[in-house]
Amino acid sequence: MRYLPHTPEDLESMLKVVGVKSLEDLFDVIPRDSRRTGNMDLPAAMSEWELHDFMSGLADKTAAGPAYKLFIGAGSYEHHIPATVAHLSSRSEFVTSYTPYQPEMSQGTLQAIYEYQTLASRLLGMEVANASMYDGATALAEALLMALRITRKKYLAVSSLIHPLYRRVIRTYLGPTGAELIELPRSADGTTDFSRIEEMPDLAAVALQSPNFFGCLENLSTAAGLIHKQNGLLIACFTEPLAFGLFKNPGSQGADIACGEGQSLGIPRSFGGPGLGMFASSMKYVRNMPGRLVGLTKDQEGKRGFVLTLSTREQHIRREKATSNICTNNSLCALTSAIYMASLGGSGLRDLARLNYDKAQYLQSALKKAGFKITFTAPAFNEFVVQFPSGFKTVHDRLLEKKKIAAGLSLAPFYPDLPDHYLLCVTETKSKEDLDALVREVQS
């Protein structure tokens, strides 16, 4: 239900119409001994999120059971989404609209995409962003193809700390191209080892994820300097864009292309989809950018209008000139993320990022104090790796089944050399009580 509070001016106008001076005057017809004289016994004011948790707790008493407490991120993150986001993005004119093949008929959709592009460019520190792609994995694959087109080289260096599923998508995309992928190893601190880059001639690009799959922040500036000496490109990938509310964004560190998953920006996890592929680059590479780009212009009468400035798909131009075969952009997801970013604003994003960082640091310190080893020393955002004692899987499974707690993601299936290592994630959705409860349970 929408809540639209009245302003003092609204109240004054309505009272004037009904012929009374104050709200109290409306109740004069009720005898005073029949009115409540004291304040109602209500709890203290709550934030939207606290009230949501409170109501969920009441619902748990009648529902099948409590919700799971998830301490798993790994590319998909649980965040609070303001009610304004769902309300605005669910308007019928946005939900039912399709891709803007006829720009003159879909100015609202085009403007929404334009606003998204503007906010995405600012968040990533890049000069231009496209109208979004399917998800982070395909955005990264398209970025690597873009680097091959620009540089005319065949070798690509890809960090082993990029999301494992993203790397699988990369191999599928690049298999038919003849390009050669070189995997960069990790350092002891949980970041990528750049030492081999200078030994690799003819590199088209270096692709890094920051924060990487372990949650650690990569030194993109150093990597940019190394690859630019070889006239190659730095591709900065991400799965958690909220990190750029607190830490330096890719553009400020010399990235030529920034791409990744924007699900954290107001899009529910929804058991795995849909996602939002964010893609931005330097302006000089815009004609090699995949997807579509909405621009601002004026019509013959001088009125502001929005158009598809670039649309480099095979449906629009000669197939051999097309830069992407992606059918459509996730315009509704892009709109949703634009509403989310606008709702929070710059200071809101910064405060939210700080909250995620602080809560993750609190859990990390508590686990370390409890005797568990924090595997990597590099600065991290809202994820980190913990080494638990051998046999922890039994505890992990018990917590999941009995306590409804998902105590991290096992890294063994992705990194066989890291048995008994778990990737834990903390966002603003977890309270201090949740974090303390997790520490107690993993010790039991």
Q: Hey, where are the domains in the chain?
A: 62-81+346-443, 83-341
Q: Shortest CA distance to 261 belongs to which of 244, 283, 246, 285?
A: 244
DSSP assignment string, 213-262:
TTSBPP-HHHHHHHHHTTT-EEEEEES-GGGGGTS--TGGGT-SEEEEE-
How far apart (Å, rounded) are the C-alpha atoms in residues 279 and 267?
Answer: 17
**What pLDDT tens digit does each residue of the chain (444 aa) get?**
455 678 889 999 999 999 998 988 888 888 888 888 788 888 888 888 888 888 887 777 765 555 789 999 999 999 999 989 989 988 887 777 655 555 555 788 888 889 999 999 999 999 999 988 889 999 999 999 999 999 999 999 999 999 999 999 999 999 999 899 999 999 999 999 998 898 888 899 999 999 999 999 999 999 999 999 999 999 999 999 999 999 999 999 999 999 999 999 999 998 888 899 999 999 999 989 988 888 999 988 999 988 888 776 555 566 666 666 565 557 889 999 999 999 999 999 999 999 999 999 999 999 999 999 999 999 999 999 999 999 899 999 999 998 999 999 999 999 999 999 999 999 999 999 999 999 999 998
Q: Which CATH number fits domain 83-341: 3.40.640.10, 3.30.70.860, 3.90.1150.10, 3.40.190.80?
A: 3.40.640.10
Residues 6 or more apart whose Cβ sits within 8 Å of residue 117: 128, 129, 130, 131, 293, 294
Alpha-helix runs per DSSP H in 35-182: 48-60, 83-89, 92-95, 107-124, 136-151, 164-174
Q: Count of H helices and E strands in the chain?
A: 11, 15
* Torsion-angle region of 229 (φ positive above 0: left; ψ -120 to 50: alpha; else: beta): alpha
Q: How far is residue 384's CA from residue 435's CA, in Å, rounded to a whole number?
A: 14
> Would you say 280 and 129 are in contact if contact means Cβ atoms under 8 Å apart?
yes
Q: What share of the chain is helix, strand, coil (3-state, %, to 5)?
A: 40, 15, 40
Q: How far is CA 198 from the centre of its chain?
A: 32
Token readout for 60 is 């748990």
Indicate the CATH number for domain 62-81+346-443: 3.90.1150.10
